Amino acid sequence: MIVFIISAPSGSGKSTLVTRLLRDVPGLIFSVSYTTRKPRGAERDGENYFYICRDEFEERLGRDEFLEWAEVFGNYYGTHRSVLDRAREQGADVVLDIDVQGAAQLKRRIPDAVSVFILPPSRQVLEARLRARGEDADEVIHRRLRDAAREILNYHAYDYVLVNQDLEESVRSLEAVVRAERIRRSRMETRIGPVLETFEAGKEQE
């Protein structure tokens, strides 16, 4: 099982890329995070997040149920340990959409997790995308831009960095990361063994 961590400043197109990745690459499950914030728009419990109250989140923290967690804009977010059990049962790899704080925690717990940071082409493009969503007031947008300026300084801690300028190119790059890591990890041992045996048999016949 491989754990893929995907992080990006808000508005960088991360959600769209992850949706395409899950649709196009088989054998992946998405880790739905827990949060104490309220649902937005058409968000659904269990689909976008598991929405719980602050007291319940803190109780779960006390029981060490989260692989990683962070408090962002006054709300808790966390990845529950059960996602790893579910992935093992299904023989799947896990995709996590988490911020830089959570990514750092998760890398400490799972050092061989594969991390990908997604950058917007520029601050101007990021601001335009945030405004186009029509979800946030000016004050919130400026706060997100300040946070983005801080978050992108962590890019060097990630295994891969993608600049999301062209959606289709970024989708292909992200899918290539997943496929390459799967090959690197497995090294196709079940197929290599029989090949090596043919060479051993050839030596005996010489």
pLDDT of 133-152, one tens digit each? 777 788 888 888 988 888 88
Domain that holds residue 184: 3-189
Q: In this structure, what CATH number is given to the domain that contains residue 114?
A: 3.40.50.300
Q: Considering the domain boundaries, does residue 84 fall inside one?
A: yes
| Percentage of residues in the chain having pLDDT higher than 90 | 59
Q: Which two tokens stand for residue 94?
A: 């896990």
Q: Which two tokens stand for residue 3?
A: 């754990």
Q: What is the pLDDT of residue 202?
A: 65
Q: Which 3 state secondary structure label does DSSP give 188?
A: coil
Q: Are 93 and 3 in contact (CB under 8 A)?
A: yes
Q: Considering the domain boundaries, does residue 203 fall inside one?
A: no
The sign of the torsion formed by the CA atoms of 36, 104, 141, 174 equals negative
Q: Considering the domain boundaries, does residue 198 fall inside one?
A: no
User: In the structure, what pLDDT confidence band is assigned to residue 49 with cuts at 50, 70 and 90?
Assistant: very high
- Mean of pLDDT values over 10-33: 93
pLDDT of 52-90, one tens digit each? 999 999 999 999 999 999 888 789 999 999 999 999 999
* C-alpha gyration radius of the chain: 20
Kindly give, in sequence order, each residue whose CB lies less than 8 Å from that of residue 133, ignoring residues fewer than 6 positions away: 11
DSSP state of 77: E
Q: What is the pLDDT of residue 47?
A: 86
The rounded distance, in Å, linking the Cα atoms of 103 and 132 is: 27
Q: Considering the domain boundaries, does residue 206 fall inside one?
A: no
Q: Considering the domain boundaries, does residue 12 fall inside one?
A: yes
Q: What is the pLDDT of residue 97?
A: 92
Q: What is the pLDDT of residue 169?
A: 96
Q: Considering the domain boundaries, does residue 204 fall inside one?
A: no
- Angle at 191 (CA atoms; ends 185, 197), nearest 5 degrees: 125
- Tally of structural domains, the chain: 1
The rounded distance, in Å, linking the Cα atoms of 166 and 135 is: 23
Q: Considering the domain boundaries, does residue 76 fall inside one?
A: yes
Find residue 71's DSSP bridge partners. 76
Q: Considering the domain boundaries, does residue 63 fall inside one?
A: yes
Q: At residue 51, does pLDDT exceed 70?
A: yes
The rounded distance, in Å, linking the Cα atoms of 184 and 179 is: 9
Q: At residue 93, does pLDDT exceed 80?
A: yes
Q: Are 80 and 86 in contact (CB under 8 A)?
A: no
| Residue closest to 120 by CA, chosen among 46, 198, 2, 10 | 10
Q: What is the pLDDT of residue 96?
A: 95
Q: What is the pLDDT of residue 31?
A: 95
Q: What is the mean pLDDT of the chain?
A: 90
